Structure 1
Amino acid sequence: MWGIRLDRDGDMPMKRQLFAALRERIWSGALAAGEELPSTRRLAEALGVSRNTVNEAFEMLLAEGYAVSRQGAPTRIADGVRLDPRSASAPRPPAPPPARLLADFRTGQPDLRTFPRYLWQQLAAKAMRDMPEPWLGYTGPQGLPRLREEIAAWLLRSKGLQADPSDLFITAGATHALHLAADLLYEPGLDLITEDPCHAEMIRVFLEKGYAAKRIPVDEHGMVTSRLGGRPGSPIYVTPSHQFPLGGILPAARRAELLRFARESGSYILEDDYDSEFRYYGDPATPLAAMDAERVVYIGTFSKALFPALRIGYAIVPRALQSRWTYARLHVDVQNPAFDQAVLAEFLAARKLDRHVARMRRLYRERRQALLEALSEQFGDRWRCWGDAAGLHLAVEFPGRRFGETFRELALLRGIRIVPLEQHCLQKGRHESKLLFGYGHLEPEEITAGMRALKALLDEAGS
């Protein structure tokens, strides 16, 4: 009847199949407004199903308003539910098969093969056993108190940053924290005062919300604070402990100049503590927030120290902003999953993060050295390394060469994933000779083979 065919072996119950088939015919006009539906007995016999199946399908039509019925009268199609036919969308082109990568120098990728999964699984089981019942409900926008206490303790012992747990707010990573800050601080006409080059994805958060970019150049030491300027009250984005992408550490005099500027202009500094855990000679740099907690929104994440899929970060928020931050978070997504927070709190309390970071720091130091040796082996002295011995990537200058989007696409076609530094520049043309080499996720032999493939491509492509 009406061309309806039901799949008796399908996963969808037959009552819902019948309902969907009738609904489609009502939308299309094949069943017109006011048209009488057959009796449930007749339709059941025509389709070879039970009357209960038809009754339940009719009840769904009535409940959703596709049909109307009165006592003693037949069920009819309701008025006003026909839809004009949808225009056929263009077929989606098939995705090209992924290229076989000879080298993958993407940035920001930790080594996930070495993460202690079994230990995490044990702590997850313990966290679930020990979780108080209220934690299974809505726990609020600030995050679990225990996790905030453990993060504060970890920041003190690892970076010398003394933070009150009540000033800590759990986020879903650094990008989430920047979205909240961008909404919180926005006023029409404000700039985002930012390093240039900078993390392109982070800055896009602000540009898409209506900020204009006030670019401050970066040298080998970080933001050139003598060039600071912008409209009063404009937020300042900076990565002082390991500048992305050039890798410098902001000296104390520039930090003081930056803070003086923020105080005088009424601005808040958004300190993105990028990759600072992995410094290979000496301790991690002390965060800028240690100098002035009331002018700095300190933003951190566990994506590199643990694994990106965890999606837990944190912000230390100046008290003048906390009520507005809480309101903004409450009306966006309320909270991070409490269970993941509880597991991370266990990981921190048992000092497992300290040991994992120490282990990974040794591993990444070896891989950084392997990258430097591979560069020397393939390019001799025709390159220059930028930045401090820290993080999971290296900015490398090749004097006389120019790298842009065309080169990136050509390299990918040849199986080499690598990013020209220009991709992270707001003002183009100043860093065309530099490439970014991510190495944290690569074994030494993968680094060597990848550098050999890159050398062959550069020899072929010329300058």
Structure 2
Amino acid sequence: MWGIELQKKSKISLARQIFLSLKQRILTGEIAQGEELPSTRELAKGLGVSRNTVCDAYDMLLTEGFIVSRQGALSRVAEGLHIVQKEVVSLKEHKKEHVPVRWDFKTGQPDLSLFPWPLWSQMIRHATNTLSAQQLEYSGPKGYEPLCQEIAHWLMRNRSIDVNPEDIFITSGATQAFHLLVDILYKEDYAFALENPSHPGIHTVLQDRGHLLQWMPVDQQGANISCIRDKDISAVYVTPSHQFPLGGILPATRRAALIRLASEKDFYVIEDDYDSEFRYSGAPVSPIYSMDSSRVVYVGTFSKTLFPSLRIGFTILPKPLQAKWKHYRNFMDVQNPVLEQVALTEFLRKRKMDKHIQHMRRIYAEKRNVLLNAVEHSFCNAVQFWGDASGLHVALQFPGMEFTKEFMLSCQNAGIRIQAVSQYCSVQNNHTDKLLMGYGHLNNTQIRKGVKALFQLIAENSSQGLALK
């Protein structure tokens, strides 16, 4: 009746099925505006359902304004509801056959199989059982205060920097920090200075907003800041402890020069310290923040040390920026979920973080050695290593070679996930002889077989002119 077909076994109630069917016919014009609907008794009899079911459906239509009703008269369809729906023309796409990834050298991926999941689950349960009703309310844009205090203690233990917990603000990872800092530090007609090459996270944010960019070339010692001395700068973004992606460590002379320039030209330095915990020769590199906390915004994350989906990072903010930060964060998402913050607080307080990092540093050092040995065994002296003393990836330079788009497509078709350094450059013809190899998430066998597969592919493509200049 009325084109309504009821599905008795559906998870949707009969009343809602009637409502949805009539609503759709009203919107398409199959039931005209002003047209009378059958009485609830008549429609119930025609559909073989109870009158109460139809009454419920009519009540839904009335509540949402699809029908009007007067006492003693039949319900009518309201005016102005007909919507002409345009036909969507779909373009047929040729589906490419998906090639499974057999050797995955993606960067920035920790070994999640070695994270102490039972301990973390225990801390999550403890947090669930101990949180008060008041702690489950909105807490504001700064973050869980005990976590800020434990991060300050942890930074002192691991970086030897003295941080006031009042200056620590919890974020949803480093990416959110970049979004906020770009808005806070922006000056009209002033450029943001970035390393070239650099991680796409921050320069994508800047490009999406249409802000000016000033690129700083990178060598084996990190960013060369001489090119920004005479420029109008909003802020400078650097990865000084382990430059991404080339791995250099910014020397003290360049750090001091950058701080002097920031003071002279009144801008802030954004220091992204994304993975310096994993250093394999000596202690972690001291951050620029330890040289001058008044001009440096320090951004840290737990994505590499714990697990990426945790989405907890932190920013150490100079006092003049804190009011703006609170305002922007309040109208972005207010705060991070409190449960994970409480668990992470315990993880830090009980020194489980310290123990986990020490354990993983030994594991990653072994994987790094396996990778370097495998590369040397396959390629002999044809490869130079960049940034192999820290982090979870290595940059490999192949002098005389050029890794073209065709070559990268060959890698994809061969099941090798690997990245060219040139894709992180402002101009695609820079650093075309370098590849990035992430290894943190791989086991030793995967590393050796993956390097061998890459060697064979490069040899094949070189003979075809796809990877040679």
TM-score range, shorter chain: over 0.9
Deviations 1:33-58 (A, max 9, x none): 10001011111111121111111111
Q: Deviations 1:307-344 (Å, cap 9, x if unpaired)?
A: 00000000001100100000000001000001111111
Q: 1:292 to 1:347 in 2, by over 3 A?
A: same
2:156 corresponding residue in structure 1:
156
Of all paired residues, the percent bearing the same amino acid is: 47
Matches within 5 A, 1:9-408: 9-90=9-90, 93=93, 96=96, 98-229=98-229, 231-408=231-408
RMSD: 1.4
Distance 1:398 1:150, change over 3 A: same
Q: Could you tell me how far 1:293 is from its partner in structure 2? A: 1.3
TM-score by length of 1: 0.97
**1:110–1:441 CA contact under 8 A, matched in 2:** yes
- In 2, are the aligned partners of 1:193 and 1:229 still within 8 Å (CA)? no
* Residues in 1 aligned to 2:176 and 2:198: alpha-carbon distance in whole angstroms: 17
Q: What's 1:413 paired with?
A: 413
Q: Is the 8 A contact 2:388 2:394 kept in 1?
A: no
SS across alignment from 1:208: helix
Residues 25 and 178 (structure 1 numbering): CA distance in 2 closer, same or farther, change over 3 Å?
A: same
| Superposition deviation, residue 93 in structure 1 | 4.8
Given the superposition, is the C-alpha separation of residues 340 and 170 from structure 1 closer, same or farther in structure 2, using an over 3 Å criterion? same
String of CA shifts for 1:28-86, please: whole Å, max 9, x gaps: 00011100010111111111211111111111111111111112121110001111123
Contact between 1:273 and 1:287, CA under 8 Å: does it hold in 2? yes
**1:220-240: CA deviations, max 9, x gaps?**
010112333464341101000
Mapped to 2, the partners of 1:242 and 1:220 lie a distance apart of: 10
What's the offset of the Cα at 1:92?
A: 7.2
Q: Secondary structure at the match of 1:192?
A: strand
Counterpart contact for 1:111–1:441, Cα < 8 Å: yes
Q: C-alpha separation between the residues in 2 aligned to 1:244 and 1:350? A: 31
Report the CA distance shift for 1:15/1:231 in structure 2 as closer, same or farther (over 3 A): farther
TM-superposed deviation, 1:188: 2.7
Q: 1:298 to 1:443 in 2, by over 3 A?
A: same
Cα deviation, residue 346, structure 1: 1.0
Aligned 8 A contact 1:191 1:234 in 2: yes
Counterpart residue type for residue 137 of structure 1: E
Offset, 1:134 = 1.2
| Code of the aligned partner of 2:193 | I
Q: Name the aligned partner's letter for residue 227 of structure 1.
A: C
Separation of aligned partners in 2, 1:211 and 1:54: 58
Give deviations 1:269-314, integer Å, cap 9, x for gaps: 1111021110011111111111111211110110000000000000
| Aligned residue in 2 for 1:7 | 7
Deviation at 1:102, TM superposition (A): 2.6
SS of 1:452's partner is helix
Would you say the 8 A contact 1:155–1:161 is kept in 2? yes
Residues 72, 187 of structure 1: alpha-carbon distance in 2 compared, 3 angstrom cutoff = farther
Matches of 2:86 and 2:340 in 1, distance apart? 43
Could you tell me how far apart the structure 2 residues matched to 1:193 and 1:149 are?
Answer: 32
Query: What amino acid maps onto 1:268 in structure 2?
Result: Y
Instruction: Answer with 262-271 or 92-101: which moved more.
Output: 92-101
Contact 2:44 2:50 in 1 (8 A): yes
Q: CA deviation at 1:201?
A: 2.7
Match of 2:465 in 1: none
Q: Contact 1:243–1:274 (CA<8 Å) still a contact in 2?
A: no
1:424-463 equivalent positions in 2, closer than 5 A: 424-462=424-462, 463=468
What SS does structure 1 have at the residue aligned with 2:285?
coil
| 2:353 alignment partner AA | L
Counterpart in 1 of 2:422? 422
Q: Structure 1 residues 64 and 231, CA, compared in 2 at 3 Å: closer, same or farther?
A: farther
The offset of 1:126, in angstroms, is 1.0
Alpha-carbon deviation of 1:454?
A: 0.6
Partners of 2:300 and 2:406 lie apart in 1 by: 34
Which ranges of structure 2 fall in alignment gaps of 5 or more residues?
463-467
Query: 1:348 & 1:438 partners in 2: Cα distance?
Result: 27
